[in-house]
Chains A and B, each alone.
Chain A
Amino acid sequence: MKLDSMYQDVILDHYKNPHGRGLRDGQAEVHHVNPTCGDEITLRVRLDGTVVGDVSYEGQGCSISQASASVLNELLVGKEIGEAQRIQQTFLELMQSKGRIEPDDEMEEVLEDAVAFAGVSKYPARVKCALLSWMAWKDATAQALSDTPGSAPAPKESA
């Protein structure tokens, strides 16, 4: 069934057992919504020097948006900010590929569990669900960086 390409077991696992859910301390908080379906996320970023110290979040939404936030937490916490931004950029490219990018080994190494979302990119209505937490993270990180000048490189603008 084609559905399985969207609802990979990895995604359903993250949906049922989310990582890092709940709001904890951070330097910046953002609230993003997906106006078409009402999905919402409140996300906080804590930076420890040049490292992503924590990404905490609370929200409501479909399995794709919730699993995506869980994967983000697992993937980005503990990474250097620059590397985390590269991962975010790679994920964004994958999600905007309309199913045209078949993740190779190199991409799998960067994205780990997040490659499971490749199938979602074929469903235009669901891409925003997968990206909700990632765009919120990008926004919150930019805010955290601008509040603590000199602590880390400025965030790169993504497409």
Chain B
Amino acid sequence: MTPISSTGRALPGLLDTEAIRKDFPVLDRLVHDGRKLVYLDNAATSQTPRQVLDALAEYYEQHNANVHRGVHVLAEEATALYEGARDKVAAFVNAPSRDEVIFTKNASESLNLVANMLGWADEPYRVDRDTEIVITEMEHHSNIVPWQLLAQRTGAKLRWFGLTDDFRLDLSAIDQVITEKTKIVSFVLVSNILGTLNPVREIVRRAQEVGALVMIDASQAAPHMALDVQQLGADFVAFTGHKMLGPTGIGVLWGRQELLEDLPPFLGGGEMIETVSMNSSTYAPAPHKFEAGTPPISQAIGLGVAIDYLNAIGMDDIAAHEHALTEYALERLREVPDLRIVGPATSEDRGAAISFTLGDIHPHDVGQVLDEQGIAVRVGHHCARPVCLRYGIPATTRASFYLYSTPGEVDALAAGLEQVRNFFG
């Protein structure tokens, strides 16, 4: 049965959310005196299905051990599970080799790892004085600050693409921004605040023309659409587990194998070495070269099971579901007086995170009154303060959807916003 929205119109392309939601215990929670939870903060973190929770429990109950050392049965099982998760991630992003998948603690660590590799690298990758780093004004702070730090420490110049009035990257001067001096271009695939889906091909083409590396922050893309690192054509791709049904504490850096072989390690410690003497050490090949110390084992395994779950539903179907829901949400939100969408106005080339302002009611107040009705949204600058500055707004309210979100929840949001307007009217 195709779910019917409150307006009586069928939305094509929706998933069977009734079945899916049974896998997410928290979605049944009642909050604030028996109100049904309406969870619309998926761009911040997604909820965790029973399958992942069970895998975490089973790991600790049956297989817990440190990985890659010890010859006992638990150590071997733990290692097989952990490395099995790497295989799942590699397949999920269509990586040519499993050795290109590095486990980190989150996307921020993945981005910082690359920034540090490039600061310590030899030619031709080395970022130093007389070279340039290119980012965009649309980035999450985690794809701004590591590059600012790198620029400050090396003397390199940080440059960025600005934004257009219709909430897209301004690539009109791409040949002047990405130049022969550019060593790395790092940009977000889907903006966490605007929802904008960025044009990869054009940026990658120009970067390759001048021999610059390309890094893509796919934190808001990997959970929501099929991701193919070979098709993207980037050199590095970062994302995080907890936004794609996995646990917190596990992130991914995918990098092209030859680069991972050439680039120096950042963190030193156990696991990342080949031999160690008091004078010097040699390093293990990637990915272990970049995974010093005991890794987040259960978290990686949990991410692997989350990927199984996403694959079973199908990334293309998830994308279609969110596309239909986003279209419906944009339509419902347009009906709310004084509401202004901060991001692309249509579902074209955009993700399922919708930011908006509501008259001059501060987002903090919007979020509070919505919360009282059980509706969880994010308010603030979403770790993308430059975007707020660019559009002259202090903050936004953001609703973000996922595979278990329903048209009914969109309706609840629209009704909730009416309450907000009444309250502060």
Contacts and interface: CB of A to CB of B under 8 A. Distances in A.
A60 B16 CA distance: 43
Interface residues of A, number: 21
Interface in A43-86: 60-66
Contacts of B380: 36-38
Interface in A1-37: 1-3, 6-7, 12, 36-37
A61 B368 CA distance: 14
Given A1-B372, A38-B388, A38-B395, A62 B423 contact: no
Given A37-B379, A61-B362, A61-B364, A3 B369 contact: yes
A37 B423 contact: no
A66 B365 CA distance: 11
A7 B371 CA distance: 14
Interface string B358-377: 00001111001100100000
Interface in B336-368: 362-365, 368
B372 A126 contact: no
B372 A60 contact: no
Contacts of A7: 423
The DSSP consensus for interface residues of chain A is: mixed
A48 B187 CA distance: 53
B69 interface: no
A133 B247 CA distance: 38
B367 to A, nearest CB: 9
Contact of B372 (A2, A62, A63): A2
A99 B336 CA distance: 34
B96 interface: no
Contact of B395 (A1, A6, A12, A37): A37
B372 A64 contact: no
A61 B372 contact: no
B394 A38 contact: yes
A5 to B, nearest CB: 11
A126 B368 contact: yes
Nearest to B361: A63
A114 interface: no
Contacts of A37: 363-364, 379-381, 395
B72 interface: no
A113 interface: no
Contacts of B365: 62-64
B32 interface: yes
Contacts of A39: 364, 394
Contacts of A144: none
A123 B367 CA distance: 13
B424 interface: yes
B19 to A, nearest CB: 34
Contact of A62 (B32, B362, B381): B362
A99 to B, nearest CB: 15
B368 A3 contact: yes
A64 B394 CA distance: 15
B364 A126 contact: yes
Interface centre among B363, B364, B372, B381 (most CB of A within 10 A): B364
A129 interface: yes
A61 B423 CA distance: 17
A64 to B, nearest CB: 7
Interface in B1-52: 32-33
Contacts of B369: 3
A3 to B, nearest CB: 5
B63 interface: no
A120 to B, nearest CB: 10
A62 B380 CA distance: 10
Contacts of B395: 37-38
Contact of A129 (B32, B364, B385, B388): B364
Contacts of A3: 368-369, 372, 423
Contacts of A61: 362, 364, 394
A3 B33 CA distance: 12
A113 to B, nearest CB: 19
Contacts of B424: 12, 63
Contact of B362 (A1, A12, A63): A63
Interface centre among A2, A3, A36, A126 (most CB of B within 10 A): A3
A62 B365 CA distance: 6
A32 to B, nearest CB: 14
Nearest to A63: B365
A100 B424 CA distance: 27
Nearest to A33: B385
6 contacts: A3-B369, A7-B423, A37-B363, A61-B362, A62-B365, A65-B364
Interface of B: 32-33, 362-365, 368-369, 372, 379-381, 385, 388, 394-395, 423-424
Interface of A: 1-3, 6-7, 12, 36-40, 60-66, 123, 126, 129
Given A3-B369, A39-B394, A62-B365, 16 more contacts: A1-B372, A2-B32, A2-B33, A3-B372, A3-B423, A12-B424, A37-B363, A37-B364, A38-B394, A40-B394, A60-B362, A63-B365, A63-B424, A64-B365, A66-B362, A129-B364
Query: Shortest 7 CB-CB distances between A and B: which pairs?
Result: A62-B364, A62-B362, A38-B381, A60-B394, A37-B380, A38-B395, A3-B372
